[in-house]
Amino acid sequence: MEYIFEIEMQVRDYECDLQGIVNNSVYQNYLEHCRHEFLKFVELDFAELHNQGVDAVVVKAELEYKASLVPNDKFIVKLGITKKGVRFIFNQDIYHKESGKLMVKGKVTSVLTKNRRPILPDIIDEALSKKGLAASS
């Protein structure tokens, strides 16, 4: 698996909980934001797709928390993509910017639905291929 996309982000204080670290649930926000930015990068838009009845739906999320992000941290969310039948698996890892340390190892499995039913993810395949990219299998 190799990364094909990344974004840089920064911890915001309100994302931290009473332990003074980024709350566990917030990493899913980071991963979602990275996926949606990736979609834009391949010229797809999550909100627009939704308005056309097409939804990218997460069916599974697995997060391994290696170390905690704290206020002021900058970090990089990296993304690779693998295909299994109708499922797309996003490998999404979060690295501390300054130290390069792996903070969270994420794996998010999703399917496309149209009017709530799973469909073949052709639009994603096409969008990837236009950028010279492909999901590994």
**String marking each residue 68-87 x if it binds a copy of itself according to CB under 8 A:** x-xxx---------------
115 binds a copy of itself (CB under 8 A): no
Q: Going by DSSP bridges, is the β-strand pair 117-119/87-96 parallel, antiparallel, or unpaired? A: unpaired
The CB density around residue 107, as the number of other CB atoms within 10 Å, is 18
3 binds a copy of itself (CB under 8 A): no
Q: How far is CA 90 from CA 4, 69, 87, 115, 126, in A?
A: 11, 21, 10, 23, 17
Nearer to a copy of itself, 31 or 128 (CB): 31
41 binds a copy of itself (CB under 8 A): no
Residues that bind a copy of itself (CB under 8 A): 12-14, 16-20, 23-26, 28-29, 32-33, 36, 40, 45-47, 50, 55, 57-65, 68, 70-72
